Structure 1
Amino acid sequence: MDSLARRSRIQAVLTTSTKPISASQLAKQLHVSRQTVVGDVALLRAEGEAIVATLKGYEYEEQYQHKAILVCRHFPSDTADEMTRIVKAGGTIIDVVVTHPLYGQLKGMLQIKTVADVNLFIAKLKEQRGHLLSELTDGVHTHTIAYEKPEQLAAIQATLREAGYLYE
């Protein structure tokens, strides 16, 4: 299979899948290396495909009817609580963005929809001994939050405000 056919197959798999698919899973299906899949996805993105990498794998970016950008600030130890509050109030955490003095805006795609997703994120953070983007900016960061009803946004803001995480 040539690279064009392989990229077409990746698009087809991601379009028909109901859940994210890891680069390793795609590599196994296509009989190529994981790095080949990563490169193919990068090329597809460069061509304008709205493919995002999540904790669970690649998927097409969801189109949400309602989105808001919230500015937050907290210590790294509060991350799980902040995220859990958002998803329990009905939000999806699409991303995290910080403004770095050298690089400008740095964005991490999250796609966190459930408490299980929060737990997976925190487990991977610990496992990889990673650092949060917000550690670069003294805890200040934004989240793009998707929600279905205005009441959910109000609930998200209220719970973040109550915890002292909403930067106002």
Structure 2
Amino acid sequence: MTGSERRDQIRALLSTSDRAISATILAHKFGVSRQTIVGDISLLRARGLTVVATLHGYELEANDQPSAIIVCRHFPSDAAEEMQRVIQAGGAIKDVEIEHPLYGQLRGSLEVRTAADVNLFMGRLKHQQGHLLSELTDGVHTHTVTYQTPDQLAAIKQTLRDAGYLYEN
């Protein structure tokens, strides 16, 4: 099978799947390395396919929900609570972005939709001894959040405001 044929099959799998598919699963299916799949995904994105990397694997981006960008500021120790507040208010967190003085905008895909996703993210952060992007900007960062209704967006903002995480200066 050629790389082009493999990418066509990956596109078809992502189009029909109702859940995320990991690079490891795709690598086993096609008998290639995980890194080859990562490269295939990059090529598919370069050709305009909106593939997002979630905590559970790759999926096609769903553009059917309204979204908003909110600005937050908090200490790293507050990250889990910040994410839980968004989830509990009915939202999901698509990404995190900072404005870095040297590199400009730096964005990380999160795709955090459930309390379990928050726990998984925080567990991976601890296990990998990672750092949050917001640590580079004194805690200031933005999130793209999705929601179902305007009332949910208002609730998301209010719960973050109540915790002192919504940056409104």
Q: Tell me how far apart the structure 1 counterparts of residues 65 and 47 of structure 2 sit (CA, whole Å).
A: 25
RMSD (Å), alpha carbons:
0.7
Residue equivalent to 1:41: 41
Residue equivalent to 1:85: 85
Residue equivalent to 1:136: 136
Deviation at 1:66, TM superposition (A): 1.3
Runs of 5+ unmatched residues, structure 1: none
Runs of 5+ unmatched residues, structure 2: none
Q: Tell me how far apart the structure 2 counterparts of residues 36 and 158 of structure 1 sit (CA, whole Å).
A: 44
For residues 82-116 of structure 1, give each alpha carbon's deviation from its aligned partner in whole angstroms, at most 9, with x where no partner exists: 00000010001011000000000000111111100
- What does residue range 89-128 of structure 1 map to in structure 2 within 5 Å? 89-128=89-128
TM-score, normalization by structure 1: 0.98
The answer on 1:152 being equivalent to 2:152 is yes
The answer on 1:71 being equivalent to 2:71 is yes
Deviation at 1:6, TM superposition (A): 0.3
Deviation at 1:33, TM superposition (A): 0.8
Q: Tell me how far apart the structure 2 counterparts of residues 20 and 76 of structure 1 sit (CA, whole Å).
A: 28
Equivalent position SS for 2:167: coil
Equivalent position SS for 2:70: strand
The answer on 1:61 being equivalent to 2:61 is yes
With 60-69 and 89-98 compared, the bigger mean Cα shift is at 60-69
Q: Tell me how far apart the structure 2 counterparts of residues 65 and 90 of structure 1 sit (CA, whole Å).
A: 12
Q: May I ask how many residue pairs the two structures share in their alignment?
A: 168
Q: Tell me how far apart the structure 1 counterparts of residues 105 and 61 of structure 2 sit (CA, whole Å).
A: 20
